[in-house]
């Protein structure tokens, strides 16, 4: 049990009684204590009708208040209260200056919230509520203030001193210290505050905005990482240009800084003018980073940059509105990636993430709408729902409005609310006002959790040449809402004839037809759409581009799916048809008692993709890859982890046996492409060849093991090296990988990013009985429990292997619960994230349900942080 588990409700929102017009911070970094003097210009908020004269400022449990002054006079102890961690100042006038002095010890801060030390540098993470660990403050996103920050520290140890905005002055002090003063002219909430002090090197670039202003771009990293900055800098410039062209959004300061830190709970943080990144999410070079890492970094750099408008210039009124900035910004970074690289491949990746992880969250005890109605700990709501489903909801608005009206809507939103802290209602209102489209029913997406299912049936009337589609929607009950109102959603579709050609569409009512494509406007629980002039029974290509975050059932025949899988012009739908076929075949493989025989039509379809040199190789790789075990679990009513694993392995082997020659030919063709390059074509070829190499190595033949060993030995690039090594680790014979793992470690032990991959490859191996190996990795000298990246590499990767996490004896659950307990006090946010999968026991087989609940009970009986308590208690209540 825990003591502090108060629930915060959206309905209780009230505007702040006071506002802080300016915030002057004087931060003196010392070895034992760091002193923080905060001088706040406070004013009564005219928007509040609360007559109270009490100013309540939040603080953290580890800050030591030294002194409180009002208008320059020291307040005696009777003029304020320090209860819990709230500082209440009594009898405040309408306008005054409040100065506090606090002492903090960042070097002891392991939660990585607030000011902390990572390696030799000081840095901050203030979202969501970290600023209160630095000083007493109105730590809420609707309290906007103009910040000036003075930092002083030892000059030799911390030669670089950074904060938000523009540098005002800097200089030397007598005792070997120096100082710098920074001023941010844009009012911002405290969660966007940042500062850094450390020994860092800088790489510079320049960007000229569309209006001709020059912006200095600077990346700060530790000296040994100076060769890993180029990619992030060029991604940043591409993002800046794209946001001007696509959204008309220009950068607004003369300086944009990025700092890389090794210890960071999440990917990166959009602090105004001073983004702070997890080293793993910004540092890259071809020798040490895979193609996937390059892609991920570009997406995150874009994401944080886009927050400058969607998040910073227009921010959130309260944390229930988190998806206002996160959903919109994920949508924007996905648009950026699809405009810059392959749109179909990006869509497939995003949909896979959503359907695997967000659908699971939506069906579990932590299910919440993209705008939650309540929370205990906001850190638990930086979720796939708020981010990824939030982006899907913005994407549906984009589909319903069309690109042009959506842009009118985003312009109106930014113009109307620039400098404000607003709500998702304000966002939807701007979209509705600019387009004239009624989005009132659409708003259910913000308040109702759960994944809707669409049941689609059809009839064809040859005599009248009419085709009718009937769509029924339903959404399962979730803890916060039992009875769901129907959602408003766009269903993009086309009709294909027997040759796979798109038919011309004539829809009676209920949707928009654009050429041979159409978007059905789904608003009711059950709805029928009639197409006229249809001269043969069509094959419907439904939910093109995954136009809504739903599950769609339609009784496709195998023949229909085969046609869609080879002919559908919509890249996403083509892949989707292929996946449906593979899922069905895997289902058969799961229940096959004797030797499983792969359907010849399926083999033909896979073969035609593998030999088609005109297709984008990245797309071919996606087409021939089996759905993950995690996604297969989503398609089962009761998850049987062993059956899924065995069935999928059977399928992999069957495909490799049936297509051995084609896989090898495809491997050779994509392997021999000359020197390393990072064009989309070359990246796609690497993805495809490594997919082929994986299949070939299910055959357990020495020649393919040699192929993988040779690819490793070539050391051509990290994509190929990592893939070859992972494939060899996945072989039952450990002798194949042991020497290579030692070699890999020898080569890269000095590089934290590569070492992370070394841990992840071993901990994530999808072979039974890996727990002992994983526990040994925790004892490795390079492992560090205080470093979230290492914890993710080892514990996170382990949990992704279902046969290990869900081992039938419960050892995986016990191990994870142990790790939750070890991290509970030191880093509650990380601990809670590890605990979340333990809560999703409901859909597992009975034995596993009991074992998972036993570990949750065990956690429940200990003193838990708010973060972990919320996850555990909801898991035990919301079954
Ligand atoms: N706003 C950040 C992003 O999405 C998220 C983030 C980074 C965060 N670090 C955090 C959220 C720490 C909570 C706590 O870009
Ligand atoms: Zn974000």
453-555, superfamily in CATH? Aminopeptidase N, middle-beta domain (2.60.40.1840)
CATH number of the structural domain 1-199: 2.60.40.1730
Which residue's alpha carbon is at the smallest distance from atom 14 of ligand 1? 127
Closest alpha carbon to 840 in 818, 858, 855? 855
In the numeric block, which tokens belong to residue 701?
Answer: 């033949």
Query: Which of 279, 309, 382, 388 has most ligand 1 atoms within 8 Å of its beta carbon, as the pocket-test mutant?
Result: 382
Q: Which residue has its alpha carbon closest to ligand 1 atom 9? A: 266
pLDDT at 690 over 70: yes
In this predicted structure, the answer to whether residue 499 has a pLDDT above a threshold of 60 is: yes
Q: Cα–Cα distance between 490 and 487 in angstroms, integer?
A: 10
CA distance 400 to 126: 36
User: CATH top-level class for 314-447?
Assistant: mainly alpha
CA-CA distance, 573 to 491, in Å (whole number)?
Answer: 13
pLDDT in tens, 823-842: 999 999 999 999 999 999 99
For residue 19, what are the CA distances in angstroms to 182, 183, 396, 677?
A: 22, 19, 36, 54
Which residue's CA is the nearest one to ligand 1's atom 3?
A: 269
The percentage of the chain sitting over the pLDDT mark of 70, rounded to a whole number, equals 99
Task: Give the pLDDT confidence score for residue 481 in this predicted structure.
Answer: 83
Q: What's the gap in Å between 304 CA and the centre of ligand 2?
A: 6
Q: How far is CA 453 from CA 128, 476, 486, 525, 551, in A?
A: 33, 9, 11, 11, 5
The two structure tokens encoding residue 324: 């206002």
| Other beta carbons within 10 Å of 733 | 10
Report CA 855 to chain centroid distance, whole Å. Answer: 27
Angle, CA 475 vertex, CA 471 and CA 478 arms, to 5°: 175
Smallest-distance ligand from the CA of 192:
1
Task: Please answer whether residues 728 and 705 qualify as being in contact, where contact means their C-beta atoms are separated by less than 8 angstroms.
Answer: yes
Residues 465-481, mean pLDDT to the nearest whole number? 94
Distance 768 CA to ligand 2 centre (A): 36
User: What is the average pLDDT across 848-869?
Assistant: 98
Cα 619 to Cα 107: distance, rounded to the nearest angstrom: 48
- The pLDDT confidence band at residue 335, using thresholds 50, 70 and 90, is very high
State the CB neighbour count (10 A cutoff) for residue 388: 25
> Both tokens of residue 820?
């939750």
- Taking each helix axis as running N to C, give the angle between helix 558-567 and helix 600-611, from 0 to 180 degrees, rounded to the nearest 10: 0
Ligand nearest to the CA of 281: 1
Give the ligand 1 atom nearest the CA of 267: 7
Mean pLDDT of 804-829: 98
- The model's pLDDT over 519-575, given as tens digits with 9 standing for 90+, comes to 999 999 999 999 999 999 999 999 999 999 999 999 999 999 999 999 999 999 999
Answer for the pair 716, 291: CB distance below 8 angstroms, yes or no.
Answer: no
Looking from the CA of 648 toward its CB, the CA atoms found within 13 Å total 21
How many angstroms does the Cα of residue 373 sit away from the middle of ligand 1?
A: 20
Question: ∠ at Cα 382 (376, 383), nearest 5°?
Answer: 105
Q: How far is the CA of 56 from the centre of ligand 2 (A)?
A: 29
Q: What is the pLDDT of residue 479?
A: 84
Domains 1-199 and 314-447 share a fold: no
Cβ-contact 557, 580 below 8 angstroms: no
What is the Cα–Cα distance from 157 to 199, expressed in whole angstroms? 6
Cα 752 to ligand 1 centre (Å): 21
Sequence spans of domains, the chain: 1-199, 314-447, 453-555
The reported pLDDT for the residue numbered 4 is 61
Comparing CA positions, the residue from 611, 641, 636 lying closest to residue 623 is: 611
- Residue 670: asked if its preceding bond is cis (omega within 30°), the reply is no
Nearest protein CA to atom 7 of ligand 1, as residue: 269
Residue 348 in tokens = 């497939």
- Residues carrying an active site annotation: 304
State the distance between the two ends of the chain, measured CA to CA, in whole angstroms: 19
How far is it, in rounded angstroms, from Cα 193 to Cα 191? 6
Contact 725, 741 (CB under 8 A): yes
Separation CA 177–CA 158 (nearest Å): 9
In the predicted model, is pLDDT for residue 159 greater than 80? yes
Distance 482 CA to ligand 2 centre (A): 30
State the ligand closest to the CA atom of 328. Answer: 2
With contact defined as beta carbons under 8 Å apart, do 817 and 782 qualify? no
pLDDT of residue 1: 46
From the DSSP assignment, how many helices (H) and strands (E) are in the chain? 29, 32
Q: Is the pLDDT of residue 787 over 50?
A: yes
In ligand 1, which atom is closest to the CA atom of 112?
A: 12
Mean pLDDT of 857-875: 98
Contacts of 464 (CB under 8 A, 6+ apart): none
Ligand 1 atom at minimal distance to the Cα of residue 311 = 1
- The residue whose CA has the least distance to atom 5 of ligand 1 is 269
Q: Which of these, 14, 20, 90, 15, lies nearest to 55 by C-alpha position?
A: 90
d(CA 298, ligand 2 centre) in Å: 14
Phi-psi region at 165: left, alpha or beta (left = phi > 0; alpha = psi -120 to 50): left
Strand order in the sheet with 214-221: 201-208, 214-221, 255-261, 274-278, 268-269
User: Of 193, 265, 306, which is best to mutate to test ligand 1, by the most ligand atoms within 8 angstroms of its C-beta?
Assistant: 265
Beta pairing, strands 195-198 & 421-422: unpaired
Taking 80 as the threshold, does the pLDDT of residue 594 lie above it? no
Residue carrying the six token digits 């996850």: 871
Q: What is the largest CA-CA distance in the chain?
A: 95
What integer pLDDT is reported at residue 592 of this predicted model?
Answer: 81
Show the ligand 1 pocket: residues with CB < 6 angstroms.
125, 127-128, 265-266, 268-270, 303-304, 326, 379, 382
Instruction: Over range 211-230, report the average pLDDT.
Output: 98
Span from the CA of 266 to the centroid of ligand 1 (angstroms):
6
Closest ligand by atom to 325 CA = 2
Average pLDDT over residues 235-249: 98
Query: What torsion, rounded to 10 degrees, do the Cα atoms 200, 204, 207, 213 define?
Result: 80
Ligand 1: nearest atom to the Cα of 829 = 14
- Closest to 517 (Cα-Cα) out of 557, 569, 465: 569
Which ligand 1 atom minimizes the distance to the CA of 387?
Answer: 4
Over residues 253-277, the mean pLDDT reads 98
Taking a C-beta distance cutoff of 8 angstroms, is the pair 554, 542 a contact? yes
Question: Which of the four pLDDT bands, split at 50, 70 and 90, describes residue 681?
Answer: very high
Return left, alpha or beta for 73; rule: phi > 0 is left, psi -120 to 50 is alpha, else beta.
beta
The distance of Cα 180 from the centroid of its chain, to the nearest Å, equals 34
Residue length, the chain? 879
Q: Quick one: which of 664, 654, 743, 677 has its CA closest to 707?
A: 664
How far, in Å, is the centroid of ligand 1 from the Cα of 269?
5
Closest ligand by atom to 382 CA: 1
- 268, 312, 383: which to mutate for ligand 1, most atoms within 8 A of CB? 268
Q: Which of 126, 127, 387 has most ligand 1 atoms within 8 Å of CB, for mutation?
A: 127
* Residue 879 pLDDT: 79
Ligand closest to CA 327:
2
Q: Which atom of ligand 1 is nearest to the CA of 326?
A: 4
DSSP 773-810: HHHHHHTSTT--TT-HHHHIIIIIHHHH-HHHHT-TTS
Helices 660-671 and 600-611, interaxial angle, to 10°?
Answer: 10
Around ion ligand 2, residues with a beta carbon closer than 5 Å are 326, 329
Round to whole Å and give the CA distance between 22 and 170: 21
Going through 222-306 in order, the beta strands assigned E by DSSP cover 255-261, 268-269, 274-278
10 Å CB burial of residue 185 (0-12, 13-18, 19+) is middle
pLDDT of 223 above 80: yes
Average pLDDT, the chain: 97
**CA 305 to ligand 2 centroid distance, Å:** 9
Ligand 1 midpoint to CA 268 (Å) = 6
């Amino acid at each position: 049990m825990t003591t502090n588990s108060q629930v915060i409700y959206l309905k209780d929102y009230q505007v702040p009684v006071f506002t802080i017009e300016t915030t002057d911070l004087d931060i003196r970094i010392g070895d034992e204590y760091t002193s923080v003097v905060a001088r706040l210009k406070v004013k009564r908020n005219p928007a509040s009708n609360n007559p109270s004269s009490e100013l309540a400022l939040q603080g953290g449990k580890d800050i030591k208040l030294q002194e409180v002054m009002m208008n320059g006079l020291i307040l005696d102890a009777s003029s304020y209260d320090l209860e819990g961690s709230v500082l209440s100042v009594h009898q405040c006038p309408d306008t005054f200056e409040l100065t506090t002095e606090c002492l903090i010890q960042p070097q002891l801060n392991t939660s990585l919230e607030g000011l902390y030390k990572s390696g030799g540098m000081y840095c901050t993470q203030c979202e969501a509520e970290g600023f209160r660990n630095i000083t007493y403050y109105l730590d809420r996103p609707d309290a906007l203030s103009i910040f000036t920050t003075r930092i002083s520290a030892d000059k030799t140890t911390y030669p670089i001193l950074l904060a938000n905005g523009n540098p005002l002055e800097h200089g030397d002090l007598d005792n070997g210290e120096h100082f710098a003063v920074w001023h941010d002219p844009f009012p911002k909430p405290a969660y966007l505050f940042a500062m850094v002090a450390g020994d860092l090197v800088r790489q510079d670039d320049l960007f000229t905005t569309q209006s001709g202003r020059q912006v200095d771009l600077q990346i700060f990293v530790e000296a040994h990482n100076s060769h890993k900055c180029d990619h992030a800098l060029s991604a940043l410039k591409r993002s800046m240009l794209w946001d001007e062209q696509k959204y008309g959004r220009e950068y607004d300061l003369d300086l944009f800084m990025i700092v890389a830190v090794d210890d960071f709970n999440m990917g990166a943080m959009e602090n105004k003018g001073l983004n702070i990144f997890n080293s793993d999410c910004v540092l890259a070079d071809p020798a040490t980073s895979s193609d996937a890492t390059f892609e991920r970094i570009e997406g995150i750099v874009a994401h944080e940059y886009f927050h400058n408008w969607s998040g910073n210039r227009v921010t959130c009124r309260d944390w229930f509105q988190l998806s206002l900035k996160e959903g919109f910004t994920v949508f924007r970074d996905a648009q950026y990636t699809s405009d810059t690289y392959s749109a179909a491949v990006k869509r497939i990746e995003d949909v896979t993430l959503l359907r695997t992880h967000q659908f699971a969250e939506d069906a579990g005890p932590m299910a919440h709408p993209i705008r939650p109605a309540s929370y205990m700990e906001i850190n638990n709501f930086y979720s796939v729902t708020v981010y990824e489903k939030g982006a899907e909801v913005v994407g549906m608005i984009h589909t319903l409005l069309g690109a042009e009206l959506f842009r009118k809507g985003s312009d109106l939103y930014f113009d109307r609310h620039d400098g404000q802290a607003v709500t998702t209602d304000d966002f939807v209102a701007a979209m509705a006002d600019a387009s004239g489209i009624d989005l009132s029913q659409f708003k259910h997406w913000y308040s109702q959790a759960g994944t809707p299912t669409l049941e689609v049936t059809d009839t064809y009337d040859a005599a009248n040449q009419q085709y009718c589609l009937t769509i029924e929607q339903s959404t399962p009950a979730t803890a916060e809402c039992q009875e769901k109102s129907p959602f408003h959603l766009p269903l993009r579709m086309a009709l294909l004839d027997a040759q796979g050609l798109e038919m011309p569409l004539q829809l009676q009512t209920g949707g928009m037809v654009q050429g041979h494509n159409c978007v059905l406007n789904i608003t009711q629980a059950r709805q029928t759409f009639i197409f006229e002039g249809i001269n043969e029974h069509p094959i419907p290509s439904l939910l093109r581009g995954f136009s809504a975050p739903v599950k769609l059932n339609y009784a496709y025949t195998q023949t229909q799916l085969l046609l869609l899988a080879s002919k559908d012009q919509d890249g996403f739908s083509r892949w989707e048809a292929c996946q449906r076929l593979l899922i069905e075949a895997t289902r058969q493989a799961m229940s096959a008692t004797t030797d499983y025989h792969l359907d010849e039509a399926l083999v033909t379809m896979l073969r035609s993709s593998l030999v088609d040199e005109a297709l984008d190789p990245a797309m071919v790789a996606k087409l021939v890859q089996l759905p993950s075990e995690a996604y297969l679990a989503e398609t089962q009513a009761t998850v049987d982890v062993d059956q899924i694993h065995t069935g999928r392995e059977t399928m992999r082997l069957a495909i490799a046996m049936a297509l051995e020659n084609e896989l090898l030919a495809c491997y050779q063709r994509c392997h021999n492409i000359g020197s390393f390059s990072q064009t989309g074509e070359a990246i796609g070829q690497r993805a495809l060849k490594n997919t082929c190499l994986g299949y070939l190595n299910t055959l357990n033949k020495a020649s393919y093991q040699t192929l993988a060993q040779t690819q490793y030995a070539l050391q051509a690039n990290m994509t190929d090296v990592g893939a070859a090594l992972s494939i060899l680790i996945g072989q039952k014979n450990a002798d194949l990988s042991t020497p290579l793992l030692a070699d890999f470690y020898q080569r890269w032990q000095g590089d934290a990013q590569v070492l992370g991959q070394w841990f992840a490859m071993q901990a994530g191996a999808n072979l039974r009985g890996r727990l002992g190996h994983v526990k040994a990795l925790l004892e490795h000298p390079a492992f560090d429990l205080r470093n979230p990246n290492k914890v993710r590499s080892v514990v996170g990767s382990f949990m992704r292997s279902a046969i290990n996490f869900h081992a039938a004896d419960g050892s995986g659950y016990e191990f994870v619960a142990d790790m939750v307990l070890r991290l509970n006090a030191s880093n509650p946010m990380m601990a809670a994230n590890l605990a979340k999968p333990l809560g999703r026991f409901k859909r597992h087989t009975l034995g596993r349900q009991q074992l998972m609940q036993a570990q949750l009970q065990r956690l429940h009986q200990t003193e838990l942080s708010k973060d972990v308590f919320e996850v555990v208690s909801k898991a035990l209540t919301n079954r």
